[in-house]
Amino acid sequence: MGNLLKNKVAIVTGSGRGIGRGIALLFAEEGAKVVVNDIGGAVDGTGTSSSPADDVVNEIKQNGGEAVANYDSVATMDGGESIIKTALDAFGKLDIVVTVAGILRDRMLFNMTEEEWDAVIAVHLKGTFSVCKPASVLFRQQKGGRIITFSSISGLYGNSGQANYGAAKDGIAGFTRSAARDLGKYGVTVNSISPGANSRMTGTVPQSSRDLRAASGIGMEGQGAGPAPLELNRDPDDVAPMVAWLASDEAHNVNGNVFHCAGGQISLMNNPSEERTLRKKGRWTVEEIDAMFPGTLGMDMVNPSPKQPPKSKS
């Protein structure tokens, strides 16, 4: 076992399977005591089971580590508070929070229901807040702590059929940047991971959706994160080492960043910035914008989803 997180207490939400499981196992291997949170539901958030969280706890204990299970939903403030309380009751303190829990309810915008929107926002975006809020109160008091949230390429760049998921994940990126500024002066760091891994969630994406995204120049990997390696295993466990390092004392001055992790690739993602600017004294007229836009702001601009030509009648 390692010592990178020795004597630390960590919460990992959604850690009964996939990426979260890999993080919980590595945290324990590096010496942390872990709260394994998972409701044990299906990919769409329906159903519950204690087995996924219990299985990870048992695996950690069999390997000589310490862990307890928690089955609360992150989608409510009471659930978030209870998850924090589990750490304090079991181990007497809390040092690290990692918010991996998530669901998918993919649907094209024109077919998406209010329930599909609300469910995804509740688990991802509110679920990040519901756990981080009570943790931040504690971290502020103790003058230290680590928060690692989970964003996504779907939010940072956009994926068709994922308006709900993308909105939540881009919201988490914004949450991370703001929370880092709220908490940094208290010795707390807040960073985010945009993972690229084969998991239960990515496994539910139909091939037709993958083909549509590829045709639009939107793959499951990150654009802007540099060229992808020729062989990218995309194992869920590949994400864990960067999360463990960000959770450690070694990353004390890394704050407010988003990192894309996929296989053997780790990329620091850029924050939004001005790419091109038009300036004049006074207000622009519509006619001036119309004349100037094509050769300035609109130059080389790519439409990610251009209008399709009408189908020819056979």
Catalytic residue annotation: 165
How many angstroms separate the CA atoms of 191 and 195, rounded?
13
For the four alpha carbons of 107, 113, 119 and 124, in that order, the dihedral sign comes to positive
> Burial of 82 by CB count in 10 Å (0-12 exposed, 13-18 middle, 19+ buried)?
buried
Pairing of strands 265-268, 33-37: unpaired
How many angstroms separate the CA atoms of 64 and 87, rounded?
19
State the DSSP H helix or E strand holding residue 147, giving kind and residue range, or none if neither.
strand 145-150
How many angstroms separate the CA atoms of 255 and 145, rounded?
11
> Burial of 154 by CB count in 10 Å (0-12 exposed, 13-18 middle, 19+ buried)?
buried
Q: Which residues contact 67 (CB under 8 A, 6 or more apart)?
A: 24, 28, 33, 34, 35, 36, 56, 57, 60, 61
How many angstroms separate the CA atoms of 239 and 260, rounded?
9
